[in-house]
Amino acid sequence: PGSSPSDTPRREEDRVEIISGVFQGLTTGTPIALFIRNRDVDSRPYERIKDIFRPGHADYTYFKKYGHRDYRGGGRASARETAARVAAGVVADKIIAPLGVKVIGYTIELGGIRAEKIDMNAIDKNPFLCPDPDVSRDMEELVKKIRKEGESRGGIVEIKVIGCPAGLGEPVFDKLDADIAKAVMSVGAVKGVEIGAGFGSARLKGSQNNDPITPDGFASNNSGGILGGISNGDDILLRVAIKPIPSIGKEQSTINEKGKPVMIRLGGRYDVSAIPRIIPVLEAMIKIIIADHYLRYKKTR
């Protein structure tokens, strides 16, 4: 938190404690358990709305499923749980990095402002992890405007997996693209995933969508690096749709736990957008999936 103008004012050290599974820099074979403490916690703003369902949040569905809920920030639906995913992604990276696999995510759209060029060298040089430095400045101005309005905005994150070996994935129920999509969709705020040409392939002819195969590899990458659920050695490319943060400063209509209509205006420390903070989370989930499938692949060799 705090690395981007769109972030919450909340500050966390995110210092990871290794509880088990590692000794003197090496794995021991037992499960690796990681522990991250929440230090900058303030649940007071939630007290006044503890019986009210926040629009866009999981309050209502959790209550319907379990009959009760932890109102102090969303419980399992809180974005704070993603810190554990990022920590696990570091472990997965230890497995795939030696293979030359790199997972790189970046913002291609925020609040309707879209990157017009992709310069991979520019990603780490602006707070929105945008590959178009000129557009990143427009994004920053938009975020300032949105914050003043008490609003939030969504966007699109593109992720590229470079160096993934061919042969990872299973032919039917554990397809690599299916597992990647499931892992990415498990992250809160994600509402859509497309791989390769994605929905654009629906408007192409077969001759346009097929990637010609040459002695040097594929001439195009509409498949997104996956065919038949198995990696083909090309870059894996996907785009992820991120919804606007549901916590906003504007008054909204909803109901309470008794079903009575009420109006609600949220206070507290909220992000203007899940972008760019969601990017390392998405990268981590993909690293975990690639590592899992690589280990399965090794067992067949």
| Domain range 16-299, CATH class | alpha beta
d(CA 9, CA 270): 7
> Position 280: which residue type?
P
Give me 180's structure tokens. Answer: 């990647």
pLDDT at position 234 is 98
Task: List b or e across 253-273, with b for residues whose CB sees 16 or more CB atoms inside 10 angstroms.
Answer: ebeeeeeeeeebebebebbbb
Residue 84: in which H helix or E strand, if any? Answer: helix 82-96
Query: Which long-range contacts does 25-30 make (Cβ < 8 Å, 24+ apart)?
Result: none
pLDDT at position 301 is 78
pLDDT at position 232 is 98
Mean pLDDT by 10 residues, the chain (301 residues): 55 85 94 89 79 94 91 83 95 97 98 96 95 94 93 97 98 97 97 98 98 96 98 98 94 96 84 94 99 95 78
**Are 204 and 197 within 8 A, CB to CB?**
yes
**Coil, strand, or helix at residue 81?**
helix
The two counts, helices (H) then strands (E), for the chain are 7, 15
> Position 241: which residue type?
A
**Are 232 and 213 within 8 A, CB to CB?**
no
Q: CB-hemisphere CA count at 13 Å for 125? A: 9
d(CA 72, CA 108): 33
**Are 245 and 274 within 8 A, CB to CB?**
yes
